[in-house]
Structure 1
Amino acid sequence: MSTSVTRDTGKPDQATDAPMTHPQRIQALVGLLLGMFVAFLSSTIVSNALPTIITDLHGTQDQYTWVVTATLLASTATTPIWGKFSDMVSKKMLVQLALVIFTVGSVLAGLSQSVTMLIGARAVQGLGLGGLQALVVIVIATMFSPRERGRYQGPMAGVMSIATVAGPLIGGLIVDTSWLGWRWTFFVGVPLAVIALFVIQRTLNLPVVRKNVSIDYMGALFIASGVSTLLIWVTLAGKNFDWASGVSFGLVALGVALLALAIFTETKAKDPIIPLRLFRDRTTALATLASVAVGIALFGGAVFLGQYFQIARGYSPTAAGLLTLPMVIGSMVSSAVSGALITKFGRWKGFILGGAIMMTVGFFLLSTIDHATNMGVLGVFLFVLGVGMGLTMQNLVLAVQNTVSPSDLGSASSVVSFFRSLGGAAGVSVLGAVLSSRVSDLTIKGLTAAGVDMSQAGGSGAGLSNLNELPGPIADIVRGAYGDATARIFLISGIVSLLSLAAIFFIKEVALRTFSADEQRRAEASGEDIDAELAEIVQGDPVLVDPMPVEPSEKARR
């Protein structure tokens, strides 16, 4: 296979394939983090505005879930495709393309005149979001070694946490400001995305290793179609049709058949989208399984907490954003501290295992809440969950990236992101269905117990779509039903997180490399035995490496 190297600027570089200097890498990191900020801001800014949006557009609880699911569905189905393309073409071009698609989706969402149009626009946003959430992590892994990466988890966690905090707050302020309106929750990210495009264009300058490759279009089609079919099934089953129905069985059969075709295609493809050999590695296989529960925590918690605070507890969108601060602060602090300690000591499994334990405990604590839970106690529960998320989320990706070759970096990283998004998409869909069913049951019981005529309450239609139009006593019953039903969502999440804990327990801790993917590629191209270098560093201890990572510039001088 012939290979040529050009600079990631769109033009061939006649000079030598010189590595980026440390200042250049830091400048590029700033642009990437800005893109990450835009992506996470878009995911969280809508959470507190959704009750207002759905009410204004006369939507339903099912559509409420679909506004979130559409984005997760599109991003999940395309994440492995973006990751594979990053192994073959310009990473810089792909990041910029993802930002453009995301920006177009944001504009369309802000212009939506119906919930159906909004759902479609959110799907376009999801296509760009899938690229951003996969590519930013991949590019950072290309520039920095696993051992170095720990020290940059602080800024990454800070950006994610600030976006998580700022999103609900900005969304709440926009909704609460009469002269703006909820449409600006989508428009506000557009100028930030444009700035991110400009910064990345000026700063990111990675080498592109161009190969004679064949793109696995059939594999991409079958993977996206199979995942989408199954996610549509879990979203609609129990509401639009019965779980045990012909439509339900048909969707499951179609989804399974498409995924079976995807697996068959991947075994035959020259350059598969998801190389199945990756799952032979124990760390990758177990980290992939563990990522599912992290996705449920990341997406499910944010979506339904905003609804709980506003509907069940009666807080404004702005206040609802502030009330999630304990979870965000816990995540930010634990991620930053664990990253610094991993860089210093070279050990990572203890942090991931501790995070899985705290995440599980946090879910089960939240499974005890109702519509009258003390807010101070609830804040403590959210902090515990946040600490667990911070210790687990980024470190799982780090563990996988540490075990794969540079040629598989994009695919392996996107696999973890893919299953994290899959957990989020399926989690939001299933948990949304559970919440909707539970709220309906509790509402009917509450109305019956209060002796309310069901025709006066609007029958089974008393809920989110007409909450503001209901008489006060009936609205209180509906709000209480939402508060009490939310506990069941977290109980299910806690049970799922036990599987994540078990998977992480069996992951084997190995030494963190002190060379980046780009440096490893250069070494392999020049015939250096980089595995021997790693063996010398480890010196028989599978988890101990030198305490101070060597800077790339110093390695080059050696």
Structure 2
Amino acid sequence: MTDQDAGQARLSPRQIITAMSGLVIAMLLAQLDNMIVAPALPTIVGELGGMDHLAWVTTGYVLASTVATPIWGKLGDIFGHRRTFMASIVVFLAGSALCGVSQDMTGLIGFRAFQGLGAGGLMVGIMAAIGLMVPPRERGKYQGIMMAVMPLAMIGGPLLGGFITDNASWRWAFYVNLPLGLLSLVVCWFTLKLPRRERTAKVRIDWWGSAVLTAWITALVLMLSWGGSQYQWNSPEIIGLGAVAAVGLVLFLFIERRAAEPVIPLRLFSSRNFSLANALGFIVGFAMFGGITFLPQFQQYVQGQSATSSGLLLMPMMIAAMVVSLGGGLVVSRTGRYRALPIIGSALMATGLFLFSTMGLATPAWQSGVYMAVLGAGMGCMMQTTNLIAQNSVHIRDIGAATGTTTFARNMGGSLGISVLGSIYAGRLSDAMGGGGLHQSGQITPAALQSLPQAVRDLFKTAVTDGIQSVFFWASLVAAAGFVLALFIRHVPLRGHAPSPATAAEQTAEELAV
């Protein structure tokens, strides 16, 4: 791995900031969607029915995004990151509109999956674009610009989602994406100019790899989601899904080793830091999506908060993540040192998740807010750092594939985390409600719960609390494994400025000769 990579853009700070304006809006779009929908989930599930399908409102979205992410990244390397990024925005907006008109839970889950296909290209497009414009050593201060818009999404998103749910309709949690997405498209069209590596050979898309990737991931998520809840672990359905996942993974690795343009180049994993960064990204996704998905359940059902208040109460986690991520980026830019961040971050995440597992019926909102701040600080240490380590470990020609793979790992963690934790949550809730109570509880909105007899309310709150404790205990064990992995990261100096024209020409000739 050379210190400088051919293909890095040589742009002035003013040009970079101008080009990043459309990315900032897209970042806001991606962040708002997750933040707005979370406070509305209890009402959505209560209106459409099916508490046992709660996890799939998010899982369908994250699963589709997970599968699509490395594909978008590789398509960007082949066709150019600007055009693929804008195409992903269009798909995302179409999915948002369809989610808003959903009439039942099945339709909503399907449309959320379609929306997720577009979302898979948003974050990988943003990160790949920054990777092309800014060398790793200077990337922290420009990521600070991206982080400057995140308080609006992190704080305003939950508040807006709660306000929409309480005062209008949960459907506007999806419709609100449309004007912002259209604005992002217009701005990117005029301002986002990215360098593109010209290809002399015929373009080859890894269709077989993409198809097999989709098949084995879907089978794995379904197995973990349904096992022990809808089907016994030794049932033919679960065993069959496990077989499909195992055979699909082996077949996928076989295809990728021989593909001319693999959707996930396996050579990237020859770097220990790249492999560790992806493993840590997986754990971040596991914890992040778990916290956002299940905390509103506890806040609204047990603590009696409204959807608006529930969104407001997520602020400690979001603010802590934003502040620590921004501060960490500035420190990395000034010192070039980053190894301590994932170590500290994984320790804080494990601690925060374990604290959540101790919450009970009498836990006040301020105390759970402190726990959120601890978890948010841990997430802030790791969110940008894992991506930075991964990008610094590969050649610039693989920036899209590397970014896509890292984002894929994080989304995969979220998808499997929600499936596993959702299965645990639904199982504990069903047991506590007497087995058949889950079907009835699936029709209970937070508002409707207040009209039930006191004995029923107490039983339901106890069941939710029991489920939440189990969810976060298991999540804390996963985060603890991340702490162990972080200890093995080696410090590799970050690449600095863009290469000189002579170096760039020399490396480009070597690259095209490969």
**1:460-502 C-alpha deviation (Å, 9 max, x unpaired):** 5342323527434212310232123211111111100122111
Structure 1 residue aligned with 2:139? 149
Q: Does 1:71 align with 2:61?
A: yes
The alpha carbon displacement at 1:391 in A equals 0.6
* Counterparts of residues 75-90 of structure 1 (less than 5 Å): 75-90=65-80
Structure ranking higher in helix proportion: 2
Partners in 1 of 2:108 and 2:502 — Cα distance?
A: 49
Partners in 1 of 2:352 and 2:165 — Cα distance?
A: 30
| 300, 305, 320: which one aligns with 2:290 | 300
Structure 1's unaligned 5+ residue stretches are 1-6, 8-16, 445-453, 531-558
Q: Does 1:38 align with 2:29?
A: yes
Asked if 2 retains the 8 angstrom alpha-carbon contact of 1:290 and 1:499, the reply is: no
The alpha carbon displacement at 1:169 in A equals 0.9
User: Which of 1 and 2 has higher RCO (CA within 8 Å, sep 6+)?
Assistant: 2
* Counterparts of residues 12-411 of structure 1 (less than 5 Å): 19-57=10-48, 59-177=49-167, 180-211=168-199, 212=201, 213-411=203-401
The alpha carbon displacement at 1:277 in A equals 0.9
| 505, 508, 513: which one aligns with 1:526 | 505
Asked if 2 retains the 8 angstrom alpha-carbon contact of 1:300 and 1:431, the reply is: yes
Point out the more displaced range, 354-363 or 98-107.
354-363
Asked if 1 retains the 8 angstrom alpha-carbon contact of 2:51 and 2:439, the reply is: no
The alpha carbon displacement at 1:528 in A equals 6.5
**1:179-234 C-alpha deviation (Å, 9 max, x unpaired):** x3111111011100000000100100112222123111111111111111111211
Amino acid in the other structure paired with 2:335: F
Asked if 1 retains the 8 angstrom alpha-carbon contact of 2:74 and 2:401, the reply is: yes
The alpha carbon displacement at 1:377 in A equals 1.9
Partners in 2 of 1:523 and 1:322 — Cα distance?
A: 54
Asked if 2 retains the 8 angstrom alpha-carbon contact of 1:89 and 1:209, the reply is: no
User: Runs (4+) of structure 1 moved beyond 6 Å?
Assistant: none
Structure 2 residue aligned with 1:483? 465
Partners in 1 of 2:363 and 2:225 — Cα distance?
A: 29
Asked if 2 retains the 8 angstrom alpha-carbon contact of 1:371 and 1:482, the reply is: no
Partners in 1 of 2:426 and 2:486 — Cα distance?
A: 32
The alpha carbon displacement at 1:55 in A equals 1.2
* Counterparts of residues 400-549 of structure 1 (less than 5 Å): 400-444=390-434, 459=437, 461-466=439-444, 468=448, 470-516=452-498, 519=499, 524-527=503-506
Give the direction of change, closer, same or farther, for the CA distance of 1:463–1:289 in structure 2 (3 Å limit).
same
What's the C-alpha RMSD, in Å, of the aligned pairs?
2.1
Partners in 2 of 1:19 and 1:153 — Cα distance?
A: 17
Give the direction of change, closer, same or farther, for the CA distance of 1:380–1:40 in structure 2 (3 Å limit).
same
Structure 2's unaligned 5+ residue stretches are 1-6, 510-514
Amino acid in the other structure paired with 1:526: A
Partner-residue secondary structure (3-state), 1:48: helix
Give the direction of change, closer, same or farther, for the CA distance of 1:528–1:171 in structure 2 (3 Å limit).
closer
Give the direction of change, closer, same or farther, for the CA distance of 1:341–1:248 in structure 2 (3 Å limit).
same
Partners in 1 of 2:9 and 2:375 — Cα distance?
A: 44
Using structure 2 for the length normalisation, give the TM-score. Answer: 0.93
Asked if 1 retains the 8 angstrom alpha-carbon contact of 2:154 and 2:318, the reply is: yes
Partners in 2 of 1:471 and 1:385 — Cα distance?
A: 35
Partners in 2 of 1:147 and 1:196 — Cα distance?
A: 28
Identity of aligned residues (%): 39
